[in-house]
Chains A and B, each alone.
Chain A
Amino acid sequence: MSVSQEHDIPASGVTGLAGIAAREATQQTPRGRRVRRFSADLSAVGEPALWAFGGALALGIILIAGFLAMIAWNGFATFWPKPVERVELTSGEVLAGVPTRGGPYRPGAAVLDQLDAETRAAIAANDGFAHRTLYQTANFDLYGDDFRWVSDFEVAGITRPDDFFYIERQQWGVFIGRIVGLEVDGAAVEITPDRLAREHRAARQRFAAIRGLERGDIGRINALIERERLAIRRAEIRLGEESPEAQASIAESQARIAELQAEFETLQARASAIRAEDRTTRITLEEVNGRQVETEFSQIVRFFPANTLSLTEKIGIYLSRWWEFVSAEPREANTQGGVLPAIFGTVAMTLLMVVFVAPFGVITALYLREYAKQGRLTSIIRISVNNLAGVPSIVYGVFGLGFFAYAMGGTIDQVFFPEALPNPTFGKGGILWASLTLALLTVPVVIVATEEALSAVPRSMREGSLACGASKWQTIRYIVLPKAMPGIMTGMILAMARGAGEVAPLMLVGVVKLAPALPVDGIAPFIHLDRSFMHLGFHIFDVGFQSRNSEAGIPMVFVTTVLLLTLIITMNASAIYIRNRLKRKYASGEF
């Protein structure tokens, strides 16, 4: 009790230290024995588990790497120009085509019966298997098919003629054969590579001009005329057919329609003129057996002598095909041409989704974490939100169609667009409803990530702010949210990745295989959220499994997959870049 005892403390401290030292000394000997005992007991050793974990990781990495390699190999090889082979068959038939793939197969009895004894013996020696090759013979307009299997035993001889061209056309797909005639201004001219190139450039310019007039200007005027028609309907519905106001507004609209009609006609005339001129430059193509096809030169997208290309020319063609793929519209039921509308649709839909999901998810999480009284109700809400993430996405599609498109869109139509009924404006699938549906689908991800990020903001920061006399909202606004921003961004990135890769629900709420117009264009109000759109994910499905001839679609499936993956990776990478910049800004300094 008294101060005189204070020297006890250092004394006991000394004995304490001495005690520890002594205990350590006595442990020296048993420690050596224990090591041997441990090594005998396998279950106590971590190595087997370590091997299992490492093996699982390696397997996962191999699977992912293999998947990426396959996609990349097929995707990047597709556009490389390949040689054209002229194949003579033993039957005397001749065909020309690009060999695409091959493999062993088991010929049927009927086929075997017709073969000579030697071939049959060879096949029998090979367990009944023969080898065959799939040729892209193209010329769908002449043959009714694009591909043909050729068995090796049928082949009498293969050559690669220099004068065979691989010709991509605006319609009917590819033509494989020779160019035998060129007509300019109605007169035949000599075919030289220079001349072909020059005339082709001119022809494509005319083609672009016609396309521009018809799609762009005439399309715009059509849209405006349609709008005036709707204005007339609206005036009739709103003001009553007989009323003088309605009459006045109808007369005004009709005058404008007449004006537009006149403009329409001049444009139409201009287009016809170019078209007429275009018709005089023609090209004649001949397939391997001498059947000929004649067409406007402008209908040819690209042509090259497949067997005489130098490496530079091949690279040029490769790049120009890629450029067409990302910058042009699809043709030939999506199996040819580009995917620009789908790229645009995917990006626009994803960004729109982020615009919806970000504020909604963040505000919900803010309330749940910062304001709501934590208790049974909040945990039920949290569990429900987590479960929402597990609902199959097609269910969201059904909900989006039923609630957004039919219920909300139908109401919007009745209130704001009665003049267009029974044609729906918003009362059908469209990019707005699709992104809202996906926002709903991905909002759990954002909520969970935001909550986590908010709860990771150290208490000391909040207290520091509150102690400065900041209100709760000011603390959240200036301290908590900036600090949580990287975490919130992570949630957003996950949501974006999930949303961009989702296809099933979109098929119900607005994705189409071929959209007539982009959701953004030059016609006021410039952004048309009611329009349906194209999507790369759906494009893959459509090209691969819904097209007239899936063999033609397979390469496009891989290319589109490469593009979709690239797009998602790019979007995520930029989001991650932004997040890391934020993170660096708010990095907590350790001292």
Chain B
Amino acid sequence: MATAQTTAQTTPPRSDGIEPTVYHPREGGQGSALDIRNFNLWYGETQALHDTTIDVQKGLVTALIGPSGCGKSTLLRSLNRMNDLVDGLRVSGEVKVDGFDIYGPGVDVIALRKRMGMVFQKPNPFAMSIYDNVTYPLRVDGITKKSILDDTVERALRAAALWDEARDRLYTSALGMSGGQQQRLCIARAVASDPEVLLMDEPCSALDPIATAKIENLIADLRGQYSIVIVTHSMSQAARVSDNTAFMYLGRIIEYGATDTVFTTPKVARTNDYVTGRFG
């Protein structure tokens, strides 16, 4: 850590005035789950991501923080190519999963998304029963065997800490659940197909403190099992749940490093301003 700190302070400013990203991430020991390299993204004419480079560690929780509109969601949605839905989208650079570029030619986007569970800011359960919600990823895969589906429901709901609340009402509409339950259901749905990576975009922003605490505990439980990338606006949440934190500003990664360092002794002044609440 001390070495990282010195590097940061000695890095000279670049000629174009753009500060280079400062890296001091914690290693998970299992290699990288996602390798984002010099990734640029344009919405039409506007560039939303500039030369983004992050190495998401397998089995760890990585938090993305930064002021509103800095490109956190854009980056997260680039990882399972949800941005493909946007008209006029253009990208360059690469995002590698297991060594192959997900933006490369001939990539099966559907297969890719099956390896990445995603949880959205607002709970978005489908208008079906709880059971059907959780088994949806399997059913679109053509799996109809009841025993497999039953096992998956129990495993996913247990993983999402929802089993005890939902076991008696599996066949009732998911829309009848509370907001916190719905969000945990969405997490269950995301882990049902046993993905490698979990992408979470402000999963607690619509929830109360108790439901938030449940989700945070859940993330702690899922840590190790899945590689988790979580976007959050709550500094304290990032500090509590993540191993590594990336601070983004105006479409750039300013600093990417071990969470405790980022929050206590950040290497870049702007990160310090942000985590201490001076701007953003």
Contact = CB atoms under 8 A, between A and B. Distances in A.
The reply to whether chain A is a binding partner of chain B is: yes
Interface of A: 1, 3, 5-6, 9, 374, 458, 460-471, 474, 478-479, 482-483, 585-589, 591
Nearest to A458: B124
Given A9-B278, A589-B173, A464 B272 contact: no
Interface stretch (B34-42, B115-123, B218-226, B239-247): B115-123
Contact of B276 (A6, A461, A479, A587): A6
B126 interface: yes
Interface in B101-131: 110-111, 113-114, 116-118, 120, 122-127
B50 to A, nearest CB: 24
A1 B174 CA distance: 48
Nearest to A483: B127
Interface stretch (B52-60, B79-87, B253-261): B79-87
A469 B175 contact: no
A463 B116 CA distance: 13
B277 A9 contact: yes
A478 to B, nearest CB: 7
Contacts of B179: 591
B232 interface: no
A469 B137 contact: yes
Contacts of B114: 468-469
Q: Which 4 A-B pairs have the closest CB atoms?
A: A589-B175, A469-B114, A591-B179, A467-B118
B182 interface: yes
Given A466-B82, A467-B80, A468-B136, A460 B278 contact: no
Contacts of B122: 460
B124 A468 contact: no
B113 A467 contact: yes
Q: Which of B117, B118, B140, B277 gathers the greatest number of chain A CB atoms within 10 Å?
A: B140
B178 to A, nearest CB: 6
A474 B136 CA distance: 10
A323 to B, nearest CB: 45
A36 to B, nearest CB: 44
Interface residues of B, number: 40
Given A589-B173, A591-B179, A468 B193 contact: yes
Given A9-B278, A591-B178, A464 B124 contact: yes
Nearest to A462: B85
B190 interface: yes
Contacts of B123: 591
Contacts of B277: 6, 9
A465 B186 CA distance: 11
Interface in B214-236: none
B276 A585 contact: no
A461 B126 contact: yes
Interface string B166-190: 0000000111111100100010011
A462 B124 CA distance: 9
B273 interface: yes
A587 B80 contact: no
A469 B126 contact: no
A466 B113 contact: yes
B160 to A, nearest CB: 14
Contacts of A460: 120, 122, 124
18 contacts: A3-B272, A9-B278, A463-B85, A465-B140, A467-B113, A467-B116, A467-B117, A467-B118, A468-B193, A469-B110, A469-B113, A469-B141, A474-B140, A478-B140, A585-B173, A589-B173, A589-B175, A591-B182
A483 B118 CA distance: 21
A470 B127 contact: no
B210 interface: no
Given A374-B87, A463-B120, A470 B136 contact: yes
A3 to B, nearest CB: 6
Q: Which of A374, A469, A587, A588 gathers the greatest number of chain B CB atoms within 10 Å?
A: A469
